Amino acid sequence: MNKTSKTALITGASSGLGMELTRLHAANGDNLVLVARSIGKMEELKAEMEKAYGIQVMVIGKDLSQADAPAEIYFEVKKAGVEIEYLINNAGFGGRGTFAERPMEQEMMMINVDIVALTKLTKLYLPEFISRGHGRILNVSSPAGEMPGPLQAVYYASKAYVTSLSNAIWYETKGTGVTVTTLLPGAMDSGFTRASDMQNTKMFEKMVSPAIVAKAGFDGMMQGKMTVTGGLTFMQKIFTNMTHFIPKKLLMKQIYEMQQLKK
């Protein structure tokens, strides 16, 4: 790696929001460590970014639903002699359906990726960031973390965890030179949406480009903000801000209806 450039580690880098964050960091002159299951897509992205920006890109193929994956990533990067300046925990997925009916395996995989892997990578890198006095973390959460989510119960709960954890660490690291930013994306037109079976619901009637969300997250992280939204429409912002004032049963009824498949 080019020792004069800073390095960003981005999980879920092979598509959607992760790919757009990759492009932003490359354009910023940052070296990259890209993590995802799809090595082929990352190799294509690596070649494109190295040619376009003259940076160096390291590719690591890992399934973050596996318990040992975060530590394996950390030590592989260490072995390569790469110092991470930006940790971007972007990998995650959801899934529509009732909690009683969704397969146990899918729910546990979601928890492992959305909660466990993010926690482990943050836990591994944060102490050394604090020790050296600089480093930035971007944890991708969701406005879903502000409310219960019938038909995506585990996903909404996982994002509540991510937001709460990240906000708390942002406060704990004040004055250390380290920042932890939480990104709350709006409905995006991405593989995440299709994989979650959400593209044919009222909640995703209006979608934005992942590039718009990525820019908001990138800028917010660079500014050290605690929380930043990206791609939310005016009405979505109002709804999110009102969730703490709407009676919970009414709120859940609205969310349930918005997440049902259109007929």
Q: What is the pLDDT of residues 99-126, one digit of tens each?
A: 999 999 999 999 999 999 999 999 999 9
- Give Cα separations from 67 to 120, 121, 204 (angstroms): 9, 11, 32
pLDDT grade for 65, boundaries at 50, 70 and 90: very high
Q: How many CB atoms lie within 10 A of CB 105?
A: 9
pLDDT band of residue 155 (cuts 50, 70, 90) is very high
Q: Where are the domains of the chain?
A: 7-258
Task: Please give the pLDDT value at position 191.
Answer: 56
For residues 63 and 68, give the distance between their C-alpha atoms in angstroms, rounded to a whole number: 9
Name the CA radius of gyration of the chain, rounded: 18
Q: What is the mean pLDDT of the chain?
A: 89
How many C-beta atoms surround the C-beta of residue 205 within 10 A? 11
Which DSSP letter does residue 134 get?
A: -
Query: Pick the residue with more confidence: 232 or 197?
Result: 232
From 29, 115, 128, 116, select the one nearest 75 (Cα to Cα).
Answer: 128
Please name the CATH architecture into which domain 7-258 falls: 3-Layer(aba) Sandwich (3.40)
Catalytic residues: 155, 159
Dihedral in degrees, nearest 10, Cα atoms 257, 240, 92, 191: 60
Answer with the residue of higher pLDDT: 96 or 25.
25
pLDDT surpasses 80 at 194: no
Please give the pLDDT value at position 235: 57
- Contact (Cβ atoms closer than 8 angstroms) between residue 178 and residue 137: yes
